[in-house]
A and B are shown apart, each in its own frame.
Chain A
Amino acid sequence: MLGVVTAVIARDLKLAMRRQADIVSALFFFIIVVSLFPLGIGPEPDLLRKLAPGVLWVAALLATMLSLPRLFADDHRDGTLEQLALSPHPLGLVVTGKVIAHWLVSGLPLTLIAPVLGIQFDLSTEALLVLTGAILLGTPALSGIGAIGAALTLGLRGGGVLLSLLVLPLYIPVLIFGAGAVDATVSGLGGEGHLSLLGAMTFASLGFAPWASAAALKIALE
């Protein structure tokens, strides 16, 4: 059971390592978008401190979405996906592996760079910790939900724009609780409740989303 998941993760990571430029460009997209906001809004530290959680989270949603179309597209093009679907293992487990691998190459780098960008926005140490924790907890849910959209739009014209139409509304709860955790910490309410809900969403989406994506892949492969 777990062997399939780890095998898929290892394979996808190896493929990603052979094309590191993809990982780096998504990461730099995140950094650039976040850096654009102070330029548009103005450098007042009070304002930036207030905006930081929302800006970082929206940029994280967009950066995750940018790398989603490639989640299945390459494997679909060279026929690997069909072979994976034909294998005796449940397709849901294969997708679970792919989702985890996607998070490792997109969500994890965002988490690691987020505190540095938070410093640019003059966040306090406590807020930085919560922000990083929230992004760490929330980005797996983004990969999971995004996999459904990627599978539904597999091989369609205008796939990228369509994908954002489908996936962004479903990302809203993650955005609300992710940014809310930091706001609640800054205002002294404590962000534990938000973080718990974020964790719940991550586990729920990692548990259910791969199976929905597998069903969508089967529709696309018919």
Chain B
Amino acid sequence: MTRRFNLYHFASPATFYPLAGALIPWFAAASVLFGLAGLYLGMLVAPTDFQQGEGYRIIFIHVPASWMSMFIYLVMAFWAAIGLAFNTRLSGMMTQALAPTGALMAFLSLWTGALWGKPMWGTWWVWDARLTSELILLFLYIGYMALVAAIDDPRRADKAGGLLLLVGVVNVPIIYFSVKWWNTLHQGSSVNLTKSSMAETMLWGMLLMAMCFWMYAIAVAFARVRTIMLERERHTDWVKAILAGGEK
């Protein structure tokens, strides 16, 4: 009998729990390595910008955080759709585990943006399209977490939260374009896959930092999903066995 690798095998909390536990150190190590390489390139190798001086280096945190805040929302919406369509338990746990990291990234992006804006534009905050839509994205994360926290029954929380995420993901482009037409003075996007206006080292530094944030997000989400599993499945035998036998 040939044993084929079956992805669905890990759709159950009992099998995913040890897998996540085994993967966390790898993702954490990858995050640290990417982070060290990215910071080295960004802080030491990348040339000083002739207009913005050294202050621009906050871009190596700011841009990856913004990317991740949007990406994590999409990933959550993806898991929400899977959860609603196939009624899987793990999807809802995954979306809940991702939400705080996504909100953190949105907050980091706004915070570093303000720190960057003060020396460059002379103001902490401007009501332009990208800042405003990032702020609204943070509101969407907070709305999701508030809704999930208010529902006691975890199954209902998963489904209601998932539906809210899907409604949100349909609305995100509408919100983005409405805010964009409303007001635009943010500088144009300077990262472009075909032709980039940045020095190559800067681009590499940013991509490495984005990988670092990505791996960090996965590691943290796995750690969080493990605790969610233990909490929700506390009445099952496998959780009791784990808790009785100590860690692992």
Contact surface of A with B, Cβ cutoff 8 Å: 148, 152-153, 156-159, 162, 165-166, 168-170, 172-173, 176-177, 180, 197, 201, 208, 212, 215-216, 219-220, 222
Contacts and interface: CB of A to CB of B under 8 A. Distances in A.
A121 to B, nearest CB: 21
B168 A216 contact: no
A146 to B, nearest CB: 12
A152 B168 contact: no
Contacts of A216: 160, 163
Contacts of A215: 163
Contacts of A152: 147, 160, 163-164
B186 interface: no
Contact of B163 (A170, A176, A201, A219): A219
Given A172-B136, A172-B178, A212 B143 contact: no
A216 B165 CA distance: 12
B219 to A, nearest CB: 29
B178 A165 contact: no
Contact of A165 (B143, B156, B171): B143
A120 to B, nearest CB: 26
Nearest to A179: B182
29 contacts: A148-B163, A148-B164, A153-B150, A156-B150, A156-B151, A158-B150, A159-B150, A162-B146, A162-B147, A162-B150, A165-B146, A166-B147, A166-B164, A170-B171, A172-B178, A172-B179, A173-B171, A176-B181, A197-B178, A212-B163, A212-B167, A215-B163, A216-B160, A216-B163, A219-B159, A219-B163, A220-B160, A222-B155, A222-B156
A219 B146 CA distance: 17
Interface of B: 136, 139-140, 142-143, 146-147, 150-151, 155-156, 159-160, 163-164, 166-168, 170-171, 174-175, 178-179, 181-182
Contacts of B164: 148, 152, 166
A158 B152 CA distance: 13
**Secondary structure at chain B's binding surface: helix, strand, loop or mixed?**
helix
Given A180-B182, A216-B163, A173 B175 contact: yes
B14 to A, nearest CB: 24
B118 to A, nearest CB: 26
Nearest to A148: B167
A170 to B, nearest CB: 5
Nearest to A221: B156
A153 B143 CA distance: 11
A173 B143 contact: no
Given A172-B175, A219-B163, A165 B168 contact: no
Contact of A219 (B142, B156, B166): B156
Contacts of A180: 182
B147 A176 contact: no
Contacts of B167: 148, 170, 212
A177 B163 CA distance: 26
B106 to A, nearest CB: 12
Given A152-B164, A170-B168, A176 B179 contact: yes
A204 to B, nearest CB: 9
B86 to A, nearest CB: 15
Contacts of B142: 165
A220 B147 CA distance: 13
Nearest to A168: B139
A74 to B, nearest CB: 20
B191 to A, nearest CB: 26
A162 B160 CA distance: 13
Nearest to A204: B174
Contact of B139 (A156, A169, A173, A197): A169
A153 B147 contact: yes
Contacts of A220: 156, 160
